[in-house]
Amino acid sequence: MISKRLQKLNPYKPGEQPNDRKYIKLNANENPYPASPKAAKAVKTVSNEKMGLYPDPESIDLKKAIAAMLNECNGVLVPADNQPQLPFSITEDMIFCGNGSDEVLSFVFYAFFDDDKPVIIPEHTYSFYPVYAGYYQIPLKKIPLNEDFSIDKETMVTTDSTGIIFANPNAPTGKSLSIDEIEQMLKSYPSDKVFVVDEAYADFSGHTVLPLLKKYSNLLVIRTFSKSMAFAGMRLGFAVGSPELINALTTTKNSFNHFPIDRICQAAGIAACADSAWYKKNCRKIMQTRDFFQSELQKAGWTVIPSQTNFILAGKKGKTGKEVYEAIKKEGILVRYFDIDTIRDYVRISIGTDKQMKQLLDIMKQL
């Protein structure tokens, strides 16, 4: 009854959502602040008549709004002083929208990676990539991280492959490669293979590789509204790249689901893009809370991997991640641990409000 294909699948496991009691959820890298009130207002503009009509399949107005926001904020909500200026204007034909960046990523695997050679990923990165490789039966090669948890750039680009994908900043390490380092990788990588940088957390790092799109037409950048734009419940993600790559994603979409972004999400997304001031403010707050929490934990004797994201990886000598997770859960806070060799001794903690992080700090200082 069940296909052989399905029997081989190993699905993604998201952070738990228990309902035995009310927890502070710091286990899914969600934004602790609400989405823009203007987005919430836009949701209510979709009338019941409009609900009966299919949405724009290409989300053109939404793509224009995303392009305008990226151009206005120089690629990321809070650009660092040394983030280069975008050397061109991003236009809507360079954008593809999907039902969460998870869907965009799924289309990326289908559209750009063949099964004759492996797709290259770092050993520790977003755990959905191996799931998609399994789903589309694309061989996968995981390149171990360096000892300091950074990505082994050279091996990534010199291994024979059908394509490359990694998150920058990476998850769950929270570490980034610089734009120059990624450009070095692109220079050494065949220009006829797609090089994908998943920038789900870029807004919290101050940096983006979007300026490199001018020189490298095989570069594809993936973004999500889920993290810095507090839209995890709306499901909206996008890719930015050359029109040729965007057209390939559109063909994939139109062979799978013509209308991935519903009317409500399109309206809310457009309003959210026009309210970048709201998100800049909250993004700054999260970055400040992260830096404070990180340094307090270090002072309390925890090992912390310096993070460029809205989460940190932290460990305490003599305790496994699972033990730390269980002790924190007893106190009503959820974090995440990974049953994987190199990071078994760490927990991943999403950055919440100052109040939530102070509460967690008190618990962690007792451990």
Ligand X SMILES: Cc1ncc(COP(=O)(O)O)c(C=O)c1O
The residues of the shown chain that bind ligand X, judged by CB under 6 A, are 29, 100-102, 126, 167, 171, 198, 200, 224, 226, 232, 237
Smallest gap from residue 127 Cβ to ligand X (A): 9
Min separation Cβ 311 and ligand X, Å: 9
User: Three-class SS of residue 178?
Assistant: coil
State CA 75 to chain mean position distance.
15
DSSP assignment string, 311-327: EEEEE-TT--HHHHHHH
Nearer to ligand X, 232 or 264 (CB): 232
Residue 129 or residue 216: which is nearer to ligand X going by CB? Answer: 129
349, β-bridge pairs: 312
Q: Which two tokens stand for residue 36?
A: 């823009």
Question: Strand pairing of 303-305 and 237-241?
Answer: unpaired
- Least separation, in Å, of the C-beta of 103 and ligand X? 7
Say if strands 163-167 and 119-122 run parallel, antiparallel, or are unpaired: parallel
Cβ atoms of 361 and 37 closer than 8 Å: no
| Contact between residue 244 and residue 221 where contact means Cβ atoms under 8 Å apart | no
Q: In angstroms, what is the minimal distance from the CB of 200 to ligand X? A: 4
Question: Nearer to ligand X by C-beta: 70 or 316?
Answer: 70
Q: CB of residue 362 vs ligand X: minimum separation in angstroms? A: 27
Listed in sequence order, the residues at least 6 apart from 330 whose beta carbon sits closer than 8 Å to its beta carbon are none
Specify the residue, 316 or 325, whose C-beta has the smaller distance to ligand X.
Answer: 325
The C-alpha atoms of residue 265 and residue 215 are separated, in whole angstroms, by 33
Whether the CB-CB separation of 150 and 108 falls below 8 Å is answered with: no
Quick one: 285 exposed, middle or buried, by C-beta within 10 A (0-12, 13-18, 19+)? middle
CB of 205 to ligand X, least distance (A): 12
For ligand X, give the closer residue by CB, 232 or 274. Answer: 232
Which of 230/248 has CB closer to ligand X? 230
Question: Which residue lies nearer to ligand X by CB, 198 or 203?
Answer: 198
Considering the complex, what minimum distance in angstroms separates the CB of residue 28 from ligand X?
A: 7
Q: Which is nearer to ligand X, 129 or 316 (CB)?
A: 129
CB of 261 to ligand X, least distance (A): 12
Q: How far is the CB of 223 from ligand X (least distance, A)?
A: 8
Cβ proximity of 150 and 169 under 8 Å? no
Using an 8 Å Cβ cutoff, are 120 and 143 in contact?
yes
Cα separation, 144 vs 60, in Å, equals: 40
Q: Are 301 and 316 in contact (CB under 8 A)?
A: yes
Closer CB to ligand X, 222 or 270, in the complex? 222
Position 130, amino acid: P
Q: How many CB atoms sit inside 10 A of residue 145's CB? A: 19
